[in-house]
A and B are shown apart, each in its own frame.
Chain A
Amino acid sequence: MITISHLTKTYRGGVKAIDGVSLEIGTGMFGLVGPNGAGKTTFMRIIAGLLKPTAGEISVFGNNLRAYAGKQAAKAQLGYLPQDLGLYPNLNAYEFLDYMAILKGVTSSADRKRQIDMLLEQVRLTDAAKRPLKTYSGGMKRRVGIAQALLGNPRLIIVDEPTAGLDPEERIRFRNLLADAAAGRTIILSTHIVEDISQSCNDLAAMRGGKVIYRGSPQDLIAQARGSVWMITTQAERPNGGLTIVSTLQMANGVQYRVLGNPDGRYDASPVEPSLEDGYMWLMAQANDQLARLAASSPKRETA
């Protein structure tokens, strides 16, 4: 169990990346979504013990991350795949995984070999295992990164944009791999690909401006958007009037728009069943509206 209470992170220069977040994350897949700059990466780096929070408490499996010993104990149970992953170009995949396994505390060489062989098989790199990493494609490097995150049988796995750069087949394979690994573990998955969350997570949080603006199941988020998603086919101009266009498709009889909002009578709009992506867009549109209302209602400074 990961318990986060009133977590705040302010960077030098006063940029508040995390603003009073409180969460509890249990076992299973936990999705984290949000726009760029929402604070997702900072949040995950704090849980991984890479960054120190400015305020608040965080406990990973009972280990307080503000204490050095607690942080080291939590790291011993962590598998981490950063967004911007780097590898040693002169090592091959087997050597790199062996190296990382030792650092993670897998001291038995037989155990290391067994784990590495299994993971290489799972990420389909067995044949390329002895090639230097500098000869790997972007997707292959990503797969090595995924394998190293799973090394050492960690109880907590944090993966930041794990499927970026993977082809669709690999993406699905990896999603399934994570879902299989989630039994008895906590996996925090941050991604911009909402499809990945909808296919693998039963619990998610959406962040914006350093705050958690939604916490619940993907189904609940979808349900919130129900009645707000429409399909409009038109040969006229793009739909407007407070509508958010989610997708655009050129058709023989005009342009088909998938929109969020409440279209007026000008459009021949038909309701459609929302997806998680619609739910996410609906959530962000609500947050935008709220921000706009707040800005409008805040007292203006009197001018002389």
Chain B
Amino acid sequence: MPAISFPHRWPVAWHMAFRESSPWFAAISGAALLITMLFPDLRSRSLELVLPLAAGIQAALLFSPDDEPALETLLAAPRPAPYLIYERLAAVFVIQGAVGLAGTVLASVMVNIAPLTLLVGWLPPTIAIMGLGLLATFVSRRSSAGVLAVILVTLAMLAGADLLLMRFPALFPLHFFFQPVFAQIGAEYFGAAPELLYAINRIVIALLGVLAMLRVMMGMRNTEAVLGANHKTD
């Protein structure tokens, strides 16, 4: 009987992952959450205003090949290079997830909205913007580009995506901060159930984030490109 081989499970360097993911960001996003919750008008949207931006910036600072001091050593290790991204992303998820869950409970008490509804409001855009920040930094090799992409896309989505939907309603799946009320308007336009439109939007933007993360992990396999060694002669 042929032996069944399982993929080798590599250990995860949690301690380093947490250190590299700037854990003090949790304090910033926690404080920002509390501040936004002080304003009654923002209270119901405080989670989706704060968490995607904070987690996105954190993700943009996670891995920039040019700023990684021990890059060559890390890539030469037998453990597959994408693990570096897995563990750091997981650390950000844990950090921001903890803040988000605590915020969700608090907000649900304050604004009387079901925790699940709040969770669906902030989690998909957080995944999407994290993916965007990670990818922008990875491709440009500069954290500043990732941070900029996160800030500008978040602001553009918050300020302009509603206007854009009025002109191009079919773009609704790409609106990071799509609101259930827009789904109801869209339901009349498309002749579909608002829950369906909202679900499509949430799934699409979360998928965009996951795809961006996967793209980075795939990119990590090309160690030559990660090292930036395309021009090296020695």
- Closest CB in chain A relative to B38 CB, distance in Å: 41
Task: Kindly list chain A residues whose C-beta atoms are within 8 Å of the C-beta of B234.
Answer: 136-140
Docked Cα-Cα span, A135 to B228, in Å, equals 11
Q: Which of B71-124 contact A (CB under 8 A)?
A: none
- Closest CB in chain B relative to A165 CB, distance in Å: 10
Task: Kindly list chain B residues whose C-beta atoms are within 8 Å of the C-beta of A130.
Answer: none
Task: Kindly list chain B residues whose C-beta atoms are within 8 Å of the C-beta of A261.
Answer: none
Task: Kindly list chain B residues whose C-beta atoms are within 8 Å of the C-beta of A136.
Answer: 233-234
Task: Kindly list chain B residues whose C-beta atoms are within 8 Å of the C-beta of A132.
Answer: 231
Q: Residue A134 at the B interface, CB < 8 A?
A: yes
Docked Cα-Cα span, A132 to B234, in Å, equals 14
Q: Residue B9 at the A interface, CB < 8 A?
A: no
Q: Which of A158-182 contact B (CB under 8 A)?
A: none
B233 contacts A137, C-beta separation under 8 Å = yes
Q: Closest A-chain residue to B234, C-beta based?
A: A137
Task: Kindly list chain B residues whose C-beta atoms are within 8 Å of the C-beta of A134.
Answer: 231-232
Report A125-162 CB contacts with B as 1/0, cut-off 8 Å.
00000001011111110000000000000000000000
Docked Cα-Cα span, A132 to B233, in Å, equals 11
Report A238-281 CB contacts with B as 1/0, cut-off 8 Å.
00000000000000000000000000000000000000000000
Q: Closest A-chain residue to B66, C-beta based?
A: A89
- Closest CB in chain B relative to A135 CB, distance in Å: 5
- Closest CB in chain B relative to A140 CB, distance in Å: 8
Q: How many residues of A contact B (CB 8 A)?
A: 8
Contact sample, A vs B, 14 pairs, CB 8 Å cutoff: A132-B231, A134-B231, A134-B232, A135-B231, A135-B232, A135-B233, A136-B233, A136-B234, A137-B232, A137-B233, A137-B234, A138-B234, A139-B234, A140-B234
Docked Cα-Cα span, A135 to B230, in Å, equals 9
Q: Which of B38-52 contact A (CB under 8 A)?
A: none
- Closest CB in chain B relative to A57 CB, distance in Å: 38
Known A134-B231, A136-B234, A138-B234; 11 more pairs at CB < 8 Å: A132-B231, A134-B232, A135-B231, A135-B232, A135-B233, A136-B233, A137-B232, A137-B233, A137-B234, A139-B234, A140-B234
- Closest CB in chain B relative to A283 CB, distance in Å: 35
Q: Closest B-chain residue to A136, C-beta based?
A: B233
Q: Closest B-chain residue to A135, C-beta based?
A: B231
Q: Closest A-chain residue to B231, C-beta based?
A: A135
Task: Kindly list chain B residues whose C-beta atoms are within 8 Å of the C-beta of A135.
Answer: 231-233
Docked Cα-Cα span, A134 to B231, in Å, equals 7
- Closest CB in chain B relative to A76 CB, distance in Å: 34
Task: Kindly list chain A residues whose C-beta atoms are within 8 Å of the C-beta of B231.
Answer: 132, 134-135
- Closest CB in chain B relative to A90 CB, distance in Å: 11
Task: Kindly list chain B residues whose C-beta atoms are within 8 Å of the C-beta of A137.
Answer: 232-234
Docked Cα-Cα span, A135 to B234, in Å, equals 8
Docked Cα-Cα span, A34 to B32, in Å, equals 54
Q: Closest A-chain residue to B232, C-beta based?
A: A135
Q: Which of B190-234 contact A (CB under 8 A)?
A: 231-234
Report A202-233 CB contacts with B as 1/0, cut-off 8 Å.
00000000000000000000000000000000
Q: Would you list the 5 A-B pairs with minimal beta carbon distance, nearest first?
A: A137-B234, A135-B231, A135-B233, A134-B231, A137-B233
- Closest CB in chain A relative to B36 CB, distance in Å: 40
- Closest CB in chain B relative to A40 CB, distance in Å: 24
Task: Kindly list chain A residues whose C-beta atoms are within 8 Å of the C-beta of B233.
Answer: 135-137
Docked Cα-Cα span, A135 to B233, in Å, equals 6
Docked Cα-Cα span, A138 to B72, in Å, equals 15
Q: Which of B151-194 contact A (CB under 8 A)?
A: none
Q: Closest A-chain residue to B233, C-beta based?
A: A135
Docked Cα-Cα span, A134 to B66, in Å, equals 13
Q: Closest A-chain residue to B228, C-beta based?
A: A134
Q: Closest B-chain residue to A128, C-beta based?
A: B233
